Amino acid sequence: MQPAFTSNVIKVSIMSLLKTIGWLLPVIFLAGCDGAYQKTPEKTPAKTVSHGIALPALPVIQGAVAALMPTVNGQRNDLMMSQVCALARGESTQEQVNQVLQQQGIDLRNIPNQGHPLSLLVNSDPSQRITACAAYIATSVMTLPKTSEFMVMTETNISKTKKANTLDIDPAKLEHFLRLQLTIAKADADIFALIATELEKSPGLTLAQYKQNAQKLFIIIAPTYLQRVKELYSSEQDIQFKLLAYSDSEFQFTSNNGYLFSYGYDGLSLSYDRIPWYSAGMLLGKTYLLDVAYFDPVLIKAIESEQSKNTPVATKVQ
C-alpha cells in the first residue's frame, strides 16, 4: 500500500527544512556518581529489514519531476512554457497570452482542454499550470544554456567595406542569468531533499512507486517551490558571479558566497564551500537512499533464508 501524503504534513516539513540554519551538532554528556565515569549499557541495534537494493533518491526524483513537464514532440518548448508560467504566476491574462501566441502563428481557439501539448494554455485549472511551471523551472538547470540567454550579436568592422557579426557576452544579461541559475539550483536542492526525506519513510517500494510518490509530493510542494525561487532570487541581489567555462559540453561559474555551479556530461553539480549540495546523488551534503524492491521478493527471501542457515549460533557461557 502506498503512503498517503497530505498538504498539512508537507507544509510542516517545508517550514522545518527552510527555517533550519546550519548543522545541528549533538552534544552528549556522561556523568557518574562522585565524578566517576559510568559506561551506559549498549543497546542491541534493531535489525534492518532489506527489501532489495539501496538506490540514491536524487535520480528518482529528477526523473519524476522531469516527467511532469509538458513537452512538444518530446522537446522542451520555451515559448509555450513561458506563457504557462505567466498564467500560473498571474503575470498575464488569458487574452494577453492569446495575443502573444497569435503573433507566433499559434491559434488557441481549436485547442482542447485536455490531451494536447498546448492544453495548459486554455485549461482553466490553475493547479496543473503551477505544477507544469514548477517542473519546467526545476529542470531548466539540467541542460546547457543557449547563447541567447546571456550573449548578443554585435556588428564589427573588419575593413572599410566589410563588417562581421560576432557573439559577445552582455554583462547585464549574464549577471541575471547566473543569478537565476544559482537560485533554481539551490531551490532544487532544498525541495528535492525534502522529497527524499519523505520517500525514505516508506521502504520497500518499487522504483515506479517511488517515482509516483515523488510526483505526488512535488505537486503538493509546487506552489511553495515557485515562491521559494522568487524569494531566493530577491534575497541575493548583492552576489557577484564569475563565469568559468561555457562550451558545447560544459557550463560552469562561481559566486562570491561560496557556490560552484557546473553542468556537463555527468549532469548538474552544485557545491557549497566544497560540500556537495546537489551532486552525484547527494543533496545538502547527504546521500538519501531508498530501500527499493528491485528484485523478485522470492529471490530476496531465498537469500535471507540461506544467510540465516549460515549464521553461527552464539554459545552461552556458564
In order along its 318 residues, the chain shows pLDDT tens digits of 444 444 444 444 444 444 443 332 222 222 333 333 344 444 444 444 555 789 999 999 999 999 999 888 888 999 899 999 999 998 999 889 888 888 888 888 888 888 887 888 888 789 999 999 999 999 999 999 999 999 998 877 666 667 777 888 999 999 999 999 999 999 999 999 999 999 999 999 999 999 999 999 999 999 999 999 999 999 878 899 999 999 999 999 999 999 999 999 989 999 999 999 999 899 999 999 999 998 777 777 777 777 777 766 555 555
| 45 Rama class: left (phi>0) / alpha (psi -120 to 50) / beta | beta
Distances in Å between the Cα of 155 and the Cα atoms of 164, 165, 168, 188 are: 6, 5, 10, 39
Q: Model pTM?
A: 0.77
Tell me whether residue 186 is exposed, middle or buried, using C-beta atoms within 10 angstroms of its C-beta: 0 to 12, 13 to 18, 19 or more.
buried
289-292 and 286-287 beta bridge pairing: unpaired
Cα angle vertex 211, ends 210, 215, to 5°? Answer: 115
Measured in whole angstroms, the distance separating CA 41 from the mean position of its chain's CA atoms is 42
115, 74 Cβ separation under 8 angstroms: no
Question: Is the alpha carbon torsion for 155, 158, 159, 164 positive or negative?
Answer: negative
Range 85-89 contact pairs with CB under 8 angstroms and sequence separation of 24 or more = 85/129, 85/133, 85/136, 85/137, 87/121, 87/126, 87/129, 88/126, 88/129, 88/130, 88/132, 88/133, 88/226, 89/133, 89/226
User: Distance between CA atoms of 38 and 30, rounded to whole angstroms?
Assistant: 7
Bridge-partner residues for 262, per DSSP?
A: 252, 269
Closest CA to 129 of 172, 168, 81: 81
The pLDDT value recorded for residue 2 is 44
Read off the DSSP letter of residue 128: H
Alpha helices in the chain (DSSP H): 7-18, 57-66, 78-88, 94-103, 126-139, 171-200, 207-235, 297-309
